[in-house]
Structure 1
Amino acid sequence: MGVIVAANTGYTLYGNLIDTATVSASSQLIPVYNLKNMQPGKVWRASGCVEETVTVDLGSKQFVDAFAVVNQNMNGRGTIRVQFATDAGFTDVLFDETKRAIMPEAGLGYDPFGWSLGGYPRMDDPQRNQAIRTFLAPKKLKGRYTRFTFKNPTLAAGYIQAGRLFVGRQYIDEYGFEAGWSYTWNDPSQISDTERSIFTVSRPRFRLMNGKFPAMSPEAAFGAMDRMKKQLGKSKDLIVSAFPEDQWSAQRAYATSIYGVLSETAATGNPFFERFDTTLSARELVP
């Protein structure tokens, strides 16, 4: 089994509350309720791209500290704003952050002026670079309403779309992931080989990441980690990122960020006094 490893800034997002929430949008060429579907290929599509919003009503006040947008079609000129509030009018706002829709990249890339030094990675291949943008609150907040505001007036498609929204919790271990991490592409295609010919059934490729947490405190092992394992199981979605917000290589940040489900979990062990370890494996859900 490979091992996910990251700097101490690596994180896992879990406990997505959008499945039981009420979602509404400023416009919808393709229904906004698709955002409640875990499959990122089932998108919500707005009628425009100048300014579009999606509002998530959790039904009651809930503890939240993580937000994300998955599989959106915006370019480097676009922005995404996330607001979290206690009221539907967003007068009592607990969290408010705006980011570029595509993570800035140091080095050659695509920016508003074209291909240049210090641009943005191109999202031409969603199988290779599924656009994930995350927003982390500095502490746990108790609110009810989340508003996502998308602005991208120069978007060539003329409309904004997204495959999944995330409103939930974050887990960041005090020691990060263990060094030596790896990820791989998995190809589930089938090949039938006869004496005279070869037949193939092509299927979408997806990434697999396996992460080991080698030195958790008792509070983390039997608190946040145990709660995360129980909530996720194998049927709930998560986002895991080894190099989030990488300032030196946006390509590395996207390559090591996965939206998917848990494919395997190991038991929590006790290798050292007052230190505990476990392993999580994530399977990507592709558009």
Structure 2
Amino acid sequence: MPAAVVFENLADAASVRASSSILLAQPTLVQQVHVERRWRALTNVAHLVLDLGAEIPIDTVAAMGLTASAARVRVSADDPSGAAGELFDSGQITVDQAYLAIIALCDMPVAGRYVRIDLSGATFDYVEAGRVCVGLRSTFAYNFDYGWSYGYVDPSTRSKTRGGQTQVTPRRPYRTIDVSFARVTAADRYTFVERIDRENALQRDILFITDPESDNLARDTIWGLMSETTPIVQPFIEDFTKQYRIEERR
């Protein structure tokens, strides 16, 4: 299946509540842009509920910056607790400790209002979440080409002491991805490709899913900012090309 992207985050306009939280790490922190500023619960089993305010079509829920070992996502139209999960229930999702994120994808959009994210961590003293994305994904008609690149940038600094030793001030590496779509249809261009350039540009995060059928969506998804804006090019009569360079948000 071709790559997909969520560029309008409905979670940011939602009402957010949690089963518990510490004083300086309230659940609304999942709506601010810095993933490392996290909501923290008082215990190692807790949940968030996002009220979207109305029944809105959604098919993607993601949570980044997690301190947890397992998660569960449910979507409800009528249950304010979100526990009914009659529209969608992901079941238990294992949190890959290399990526600290979960991505839950519905096969088809559902008109939901309440999104519940349960987190648990038997080996942790508490659970946390840094950012939540809820939205409707757009899937490209054709996938990106071979030759794409994926890697890590290490922002750590190194300096030499007077004695010649190398001192390292460590920083957590972040991921980058560079993909090129050699065939973008006119429908894709006018329904979402131009909207991403116009509305997100270099300012608003996007959720880029390289493989929606992956068995490890946290590994194959990046939440971040485009590092540069690139033009839409028309090399053929009916189709266009587009390149995306994205840096993971911390």
Shorter-normalised TM range: 0.7 to 0.9
Asked if residue 132 in structure 1 is aligned to residue 101 in structure 2, the reply is yes
Aligned partner of 1:221 in structure 2 is 189
Q: CA deviation at 1:241?
A: 2.8
Measured after TM superposition, the shift of residue 181 of structure 1 is 1.7
- Give the whole-Å Cα distance in 2 for the aligned partners of 1:12 and 1:222: 15
TM-score, normalised via structure 1 length: 0.74
1:183 matched residue in structure 2: 150
* Residue 68 (structure 1) aligns with: 62
Distance 1:275 1:53 in 2: 45
- Which consecutive unaligned segments of at least 5 residues does structure 1 have? 1-7, 104-120, 124-128
Q: After TM superposition, list the pairs within 5 Å mapping 1:116-131 onto structure 2.
A: 123=97, 129-131=98-100
Q: What residue in structure 2 maps to residue 279 of structure 1? A: 243
Aligned position for 1:236:
204
Q: What is the letter of the counterpart of residue 22 of structure 1?
A: S
- Cα distance in 1 for residues equivalent to 2:155 and 2:206: 21
Is 64-73 or 87-96 further displaced after alignment?
Answer: 87-96
- Within 5 A, what are the aligned runs for 1:11-30? 11-29=4-22, 30=25
**Match among 74, 79, 96 for residue 82 of structure 1:** 74
Tell me which of the two structures has the higher relative contact order, counting C-alpha pairs closer than 8 angstroms and 6 or more residues apart: 1
Output the TM-score relative to the length of structure 2.
Answer: 0.84
Task: Check the 8 A contact 2:59/2:137 in 1, yes or no.
Answer: yes
Residue 268 in structure 1 maps to residue 238 in structure 2: no
1:239 partner amino acid: L
- The Cα RMSD (Å) is 2.9
Report if the CA contact (8 A) 2:231-2:242 is conserved.
yes
Aligned to 1:230, the other structure's residue is in SS state helix
Structure 2 counterpart of 1:188, one-letter code: P
> Is the 1:102–1:131 Cα contact (8 Å) retained in structure 2?
no
**Structure 1's 276 and 87: CA in aligned 2 closer, same or farther, altered over 3 A?**
farther
The 2-side partners of 1:11 and 1:23 are apart by 26
How high is the sequence identity, in percent, across the aligned residues? 23
For residue 160 of structure 1, what is the aligned residue in structure 2?
A: 127
1:55/1:147 contact within 8 Å kept: yes
- AA aligned opposite 1:276: F
1:257 aligns with 2:221: yes
* Equivalent residue number for residue 33 of structure 2: 38
Match of 1:209 among 168, 177, 186: 177
Distance 1:178 1:212 in 2: 6
Structure 1 residues 138 and 230, CA gap change in structure 2 (3 angstroms) = farther
SS, match of residue 74 in structure 1: coil
Which structure 2 segments of 5+ residues have no match? Answer: none
